[in-house]
Structure 1
Amino acid sequence: MNYTLNQLRIFLKIVEKQSVTKASEELHLTQPAVSIQLKNFQDQFEIPLTEVVGRKIYVTDFGKEIAEAAEQILQQVDTISYKTLAYKGRLFGKIRISVVSTGKYVMPYFLTDFLRLHPGIELEMDVTNKNKVIKSLENNEVDFALVSILPDKLKVDTIELMQNKLFFVGNNEEQFKGKATMEKILKNRPLLFRELGSGTRLTMQNFIEKNNIKVEKKMELTSNEAVKQAVLAGLGYSIMPLIGIQREIQNNDLRIIPLKGLPIKTNWNLIWMKGKNHSPAAAAYMDYLRKNKDDIINNRFSWYENFN
């Protein structure tokens, strides 16, 4: 046997994603490179680790056992690395964060300098919708979660980061004379929603119900990027977080349509389960945020804070 740690990591990712393509995307490698490493790894065993049925890859029972062993090996390698760093007096460990989809425009800026200060700390950041974020927090699968709507049924502690502003937006094809209302505008095109479980969708629904707005035509899309592209194409209108459409607004590809009651303002909060016993890495990050969040906002988001 002459397998490498890289091959073990690639095989584990394929097992996790059940797809060579998805594994290559997560690992930031080309699909052919991942396929070659998988073949080289499998060739060292007399029993198949995977099989392809149709166009889908399946992990055999033997492959699952090898994956479990590979995970243990890699954990031991990480332990060696962590112990080495600890001996040198450096902070080490892993921070796991689950982020609602629009939070991908926010969270990296609150992490970059901290991770540069502590190169021994690894980051796992999952970007998904609000329901899945809260579930991962409740199941203790992550250290922190970034949300714009605080969960009702969980006891959490928070660090408030910055405002989340949502505006009613469309492309530049139509012009409106006189005093426009959302109902009048939506006579021509549908209102574009995120999927169920999205915090942005919940915020939109609360606004519509509160203002008794009648929406006849609706369309649902499963990501903010999909909503943005649909609005750009003239497919409809939406209420969107400003943080994700800066470039399109500046380039006049999208325009904000001023309406009464908008923008909707919520707050981005980093949250964690009350009473959670944080690792040294996670505790250090909390301390860093409390001391540096205002400077990060001033340096990275001044355009955003001043936009009304």
Structure 2
Amino acid sequence: MNYTLHQLQVFLKVTQCESVTKAAEELHLTQPAVSIQLKNFQDQFDIPLTEIVGRKLFVTEFGKEIGVAAQNIINEVNAINYKTMAHKGQLTGRLILSIVSTGKYVMPFFLTQFLKDNPGIELSLDVTNKTKVIQSLEQNLVDFSLVSVLPETIKIESVELMQNKLYLIGNTEKSFRKKPYSYDILNELPLIYREEGSGTRSVMEKFIKQNNLPVRKTMELTSNEAVKQAVIAGLGYSIMPLIGIKNELKNETLQIIPVKHFPIISNWNLIWLKGKSFSPSAQAFVDYIQLHKSDIITKYFDWYERY
């Protein structure tokens, strides 16, 4: 046996994703590079680690056992690295976050300098919908979550980061007046929705219900990016977070349609389980956020606050 740590890391990611393509994306490698490392690793075993059935990759029982062993080895290597850095007086460990999909436009700016200041901290960041974010938090699989709708089913503590502003948007093929429209316009324009479980959809539907608004739902899509592209293509209109359409507004492929009492406002909150015992890296991060959030907002989101 002459496998490398890199091969173990690649194989472990393949077992977790059950897909070479997805593993390549998460490892920031090309698909051929992952396939080569997977083959080189497999060549060292007489028993198959994976198999392809109907163009889908499956991990064999033996492969699953090797995956567990690979995880243990990688954990030990990480522990050695953490201990070495800790011995030098550096903060070490893993910081695990789950964030809602639009949070990808927010959270990186609250992480960048903290990670630069603490190179011994390894970040794990999962971007998904609100339902899955809350599930991972409820199961105590993460240190923190970023949401724009606070969960009502679990006890949490939180730090409010910044406002989340939702506007009615459309492409730029049709002209709209600058004077705000009444809510009746929502009955005239076909609306594109996010999928069930989305925080954006939750805020949008709550607003519609509270104001008893008539709307025309035309389709449902599974990501803000998909909704954005559908609106640009002229398939309909939508109510979307401002944070995710900065470039499209600048490039004039999207426009905000003025409506009375818009934007719809919610708040981005960094949340964690009430009473959670923080690791040193998690405690350092929440302390950093509380100390520096105003400076971060001023530096990176000045354009956003002016809307």
Category of TM-score, reference length = shorter chain: over 0.9
In the TM superposition, 1:76-225 aligns within 5 A as: 76-176=76-176, 180-184=181-185, 186-187=187-188, 189-225=189-225
Identity %: 62
Deviation at 1:51, TM superposition (A): 1.1
Give the Cα separation in 1 of the matches to 2:155 and 2:60: 41
Give the Cα separation in 2 of the matches to 1:149 and 1:62: 42
User: Aligned to 1:258, what secondary structure does the other structure show?
Assistant: coil
User: Aligned to 1:141, what secondary structure does the other structure show?
Assistant: coil
Distance 1:185 1:279, change over 3 A: closer
Contact 2:186 2:215 in 1 (8 A): no
Alpha-carbon RMSD across the aligned residues, in angstroms, is: 1.3
Deviation at 1:232, TM superposition (A): 0.7
Deviation at 1:180, TM superposition (A): 3.7
Distance 1:179 1:102, change over 3 A: closer
Give the Cα separation in 1 of the matches to 2:119 and 2:173: 48
Aligned match of 1:6: 6
Deviation at 1:252, TM superposition (A): 1.7
Contact 2:176 2:257 in 1 (8 A): no
Which of structure 1's runs of 4+ aligned residues deviate more than 6 A? none
Which TM-score applies when normalising by structure 1? 0.96
Aligned match of 1:292: 292
Amino acid at match of 2:244: G
Deviation at 1:126, TM superposition (A): 0.4
Deviation at 1:34, TM superposition (A): 0.4
Distance 1:48 1:208, change over 3 A: same
Amino acid at match of 1:28: H
Aligned match of 2:277: 277
Amino acid at match of 2:234: G
Contact 2:109 2:296 in 1 (8 A): yes
Deviation at 1:176, TM superposition (A): 4.1
Matched, 1:248 2:231: no
Give the Cα separation in 2 of the matches to 1:157 and 1:234: 41
Deviation at 1:179, TM superposition (A): 6.8
Give the Cα separation in 2 of the matches to 1:191 and 1:216: 6
Amino acid at match of 1:125: L
Deviation at 1:132, TM superposition (A): 0.6
Amino acid at match of 1:5: L
Deviation at 1:181, TM superposition (A): 4.0
Give unmatched runs, 5+ long, in structure 2: none
Distance 1:176 1:90, change over 3 A: closer
Give the Cα separation in 1 of the matches to 2:183 and 2:220: 18
Amino acid at match of 1:89: G
User: Aligned to 1:125, what secondary structure does the other structure show?
Assistant: strand
Contact 2:193 2:217 in 1 (8 A): no
Amino acid at match of 2:68: E
Give unmatched runs, 5+ long, in structure 1: none
Amino acid at match of 1:77: V
User: Aligned to 2:168, what secondary structure does the other structure show?
Assistant: strand
Give the Cα separation in 2 of the matches to 1:26 and 1:15: 13
Matched, 1:258 2:258: yes
Aligned match of 2:31: 31
Give the Cα separation in 2 of the matches to 1:155 and 1:53: 44
